[in-house]
Amino acid sequence: MFAQIIIDQDAKALDKVFEYKVPDGMDVKEGMRVIVPFGKRDLQGFVVGLNENCQYDEQKIKPIKEKVEDFSAIKKEMLNLMKYMAEKNHLKLASIIRLFLPAEMREGKVRELFETFYSLSGTEVSVGKSAHKQQALLEYLKSERSASSSELCEKFGRSALSSLLEKGAICQEKKTKRREPVFVEEDDKKVTLTPSQERAVETMCENETYLLHGVTGSGKTEVYMRLISRALSQGKSAIMLVPEISLTPQIFSNFKSRFGSRVAILHSGLSAGERFDEWKRLFSGEATIAVGARSAIFAPVENVGVIIVDEEHEQSYISESNPRFSTHDVAIFRARANKAPLVLGSATPSVESYEKAKQGKYKLVEMPVRANGKELPQIQIVDMVGELRKGNSTIFSSQLISDLANVINQKKQAMMFINRRGYSSFMRCRDCGYIAKCTDCDVSLVYHREDNRLKCHYCGKQFKVLDRCPKCGSENIKQGAVGTEQVVHELHRLFPDVKILRMDNDTTSTKNAHQKILTEFKNTLPAILVGTQMIAKGHDFENVLLVGIIDADQSLFHADYRSTERTFQLITQVAGRAGRGALAGKVVLQTYAPRHYVYKFVANYDYKGFFRKEENIRQTAQFPPFSRILRILFSDKNENYVRDLLKVCYNEIAKLKEKYEGEIFYLDAMKSPIKRIQDKFRYQIIIRMKLDKADQIEKEVFDIVDKASKTSVFFEVNPQNMS
């Protein structure tokens, strides 16, 4: 027997399948981890196939040394997924397999914990009258049947335990101990489904992809839980993805209260041991519901009955670091492999997904009203340029201040949202609202502090920093955004007696910090929560009557063709935090561009109108989903090497432009906007092409680059970030 093996090393030269002999008597199965001799070393590898016959020269083939464990760590479905991802995303096999296993397991750092349990042996022994503790221990075991060593020692002392063991009165057994993450369990609200929830649950049962478009507060979580219950009752498992750690504590609590220990949680906020044990619980079938962030899509569950991607429009579903993949693609692959429904849920679906629904590739399911029957909060747009003219140059408009005062008087709560995305920012005239844009690409220029320049992330063009507004001549043209600290400071000044909480990257770096801040907020009246994107999603606080959006434009003029879409999504999400209880809510949206079309649609909760407008613009400008952008990123410590490589690849790709006439309408090679990271020089090629031949062209591009390069090169389709 011969085994096809992938070596667990992240090197381009090792990125192929190697053949080894299976020694007689060794029971090797597909998906197992093994140790094989490689050159002078012994390396870990994964068995991805088995063959009776040898494909190469049998004399030269070495035998497998040993198995790492006795089971297949990678299940069959995942081996197929590996092949699919390698082809689709042009990734190294070993790097894909690493996604399937917890890093702790691959590196052998974390092991399963075992604990000793004791029970009565059935042998009657005499215990002296004075040995109260031994008596009590025996009584305890009589009623509890079995208890762990740590529990018994704590209750009755170690010596009582050991003397009973010596006498043979009790016997011991080793059991695995699981480190389960702890969550506050909330009361499980048993609700009757609304008619649209009921329809949604009934509809979404086929082997199809559904786009669940439900307004904020329409009760999507309840729908997800019903779908999962149905899958469990059919004896199947379920995967549910949530975008990021910020909203997970609440979701996890809800799921734990409904499904108990059948839920396993996978996300980066867990300790290594917890993550490993949760993975094992899923792997062994002890738990059948995987809930977690992006990487939970690789949960080792079998016989999947439903896959749910909550807030499907979220950027965090596309991995920006290597290996780069799209969670949607993987979810679709797994859903089809299991013949299970895939549910993509959102109040603001991505333009890409909605376009697919429009074309019939996804089935659209709508929940247009809130589950409690309440109206969505009113959104009032405040023109900050007008505020300036009136002489108010502070962060808060007079409208926002009076609404805040009002909420505080009623002893209720407000959330202040600071729109901050990434490190970059644009230049804006504070007097007329003018924004510096690229003359060629019509996207906003990004200010780069390191060389004090404005750069276009699409074509690489650079511009001098403006000291005077080209539109109105004002010198009040600035770069930079308001920070959370500044807002908190200002609020303290305005409302010295009110509890003000802050939630951003700085205040949430420790474990469970999110949970603590949110719990404190929940229990304080009145209170104001100031935060970034983290407070935008998921939270369901009934006392929040007001949401203030300090500077809505921050995501609007980002150098990204998706920036309008992002803004629409973010604002709709944040707005959805207001008025979730009995009293009506309100949103005050502060902007320097009050006439931008996105705000009109946002204020009317008109997703469809927004989609039509955006679709039109993207179609005209030939941006995705009506074209495909391929970014090829080269980076190396040796700048000459990258530059030469870039040139060679560019010249070859340029030939494709002739071969596929009219299909590639943009091709350029440039320095990346951030030209050096971790001592590596970065250059990139950007290709924008029509959809018809995109797959074919992409394959040819992969081949060109692979042939030319001796190191890894990163490919990204429709990149989220061009820096």
Chain contacts with Zn ion (rule: CB under 5 A): 429, 431-432, 434, 438, 440-441, 456, 458-459, 461, 469, 471-472, 474
For ligand ADP, the binding residue among 196, 218, 479, 569 (CB under 6 A) is 218
- Which residues touch 398 (CB under 8 Å, ≥6 apart)? 387, 390, 392
Cβ closest to ligand ADP, residue 251 vs residue 629: 251
For ligand ADP, the binding residue among 45, 217, 269, 585 (CB under 6 A) is 217
Contacts to ligand ADP from residues 515-544, by CB under 6 A: 540
Q: Does 229 bind ligand ADP (CB under 6 A)?
A: no
CA distance 668 to 684: 8
Q: Which helix (H) or strand (E) holds 295?
A: none
Smallest distance from ligand ADP to CB 347, Å: 6
210 interface partner picked from Zn ion, ligand ADP, none, CB below 5 to 8 A per type: none
How many of the chain's residues bind ligand ADP (CB under 6 A)? 17
Q: Does 222 bind ligand ADP (CB under 6 A)?
A: yes
372 interface partner picked from Zn ion, ligand ADP, none, CB below 5 to 8 A per type: ligand ADP
Cβ closest to ligand ADP, residue 209 vs residue 218: 218
Cβ closest to ligand ADP, residue 217 vs residue 548: 217
434 interface partner picked from ligand ADP, Zn ion, none, CB below 5 to 8 A per type: Zn ion
474 interface partner picked from Zn ion, ligand ADP, none, CB below 5 to 8 A per type: Zn ion
Q: Does 216 bind ligand ADP (CB under 6 A)?
A: yes
Q: Does 372 bind ligand ADP (CB under 6 A)?
A: yes
Smallest distance from Zn ion to CB 434, Å: 4
Neighbours of 68 (CB within 10 A): 16
Smallest distance from ligand ADP to CB 189, Å: 5
User: In this structure, are residues 540 and 254 in contact, taking their beta carbons and an 8 Å threshold?
Assistant: no
* C-alpha 285: how far from chain center: 24
Q: How many helical (H) and strand (E) elements, i.e. helices and strands, does the chain have?
A: 21, 30
Residue from 203, 127, 124 nearest 169 by CA: 124
* Interface segment toward ligand ADP; rule CB under 6 A; list 143-151, 189-197, 399-407, 657-665: 189-197
Residue 408: DSSP 8-state: H
**SS3 state at 598:** helix
Angle, CA of 459, 465 and 470, to the nearest 5°: 95
Residue from 589, 672, 663 nearest 627 by CA: 663
Smallest distance from Zn ion to CB 643, Å: 21
Smallest distance from Zn ion to CB 558, Å: 14
Amino acid at the residue 503: M
* DSSP letter for each residue of 651-717: HHHHHHHHHTTTTEEEEEEEEEEEEEETTEEEEEEEEEE-STTHHHHHHHHHHHHHHH-SS--EEEE
Six-digit token string for 314? 């979220």
440 interface partner picked from Zn ion, ligand ADP, none, CB below 5 to 8 A per type: Zn ion
Six-digit token string for 443? 């996207």
569 interface partner picked from ligand ADP, Zn ion, none, CB below 5 to 8 A per type: none
Cβ closest to ligand ADP, residue 540 vs residue 700: 540
For ligand ADP, the binding residue among 181, 219, 243, 585 (CB under 6 A) is 219
197 interface partner picked from Zn ion, ligand ADP, none, CB below 5 to 8 A per type: ligand ADP
Q: Does 214 bind ligand ADP (CB under 6 A)?
A: yes
471 interface partner picked from Zn ion, ligand ADP, none, CB below 5 to 8 A per type: Zn ion
- Which residues touch 370 (CB under 8 Å, ≥6 apart)? 215, 216, 217, 218, 219, 376
222 interface partner picked from Zn ion, ligand ADP, none, CB below 5 to 8 A per type: ligand ADP
**SS3 state at 433:** coil
Longest dimension (CA), the chain: 99
Smallest distance from ligand ADP to CB 235, Å: 26
* Interface segment toward ligand ADP; rule CB under 6 A; list 84-92, 188-196, 511-519, 564-572: 188-196
Q: Does 193 bind ligand ADP (CB under 6 A)?
A: yes
Cβ closest to ligand ADP, residue 81 vs residue 225: 225
Neighbours of 288 (CB within 10 A): 24
CA distance 18 to 14: 9
Q: Does 220 bind ligand ADP (CB under 6 A)?
A: yes
Cβ closest to ligand ADP, residue 153 vs residue 193: 193
List Cα–Cα distances, 404 to 488, 502, 521, 624, 706, in angstroms. 13, 16, 16, 40, 58
**SS3 state at 354:** helix
State which residue has the least CB distance to ligand ADP. Answer: 219
CA distance 552 to 575: 12
Strands in 296-433 per DSSP E:
304-309, 342-346, 363-367, 378-383, 413-417, 427-429
User: In this structure, are residues 589 and 401 in contact, taking their beta carbons and an 8 Å threshold?
Assistant: no
**SS3 state at 117:** strand
Binding site for ligand ADP (CB under 6 A): 189, 191-194, 197, 214, 216-222, 371-372, 540
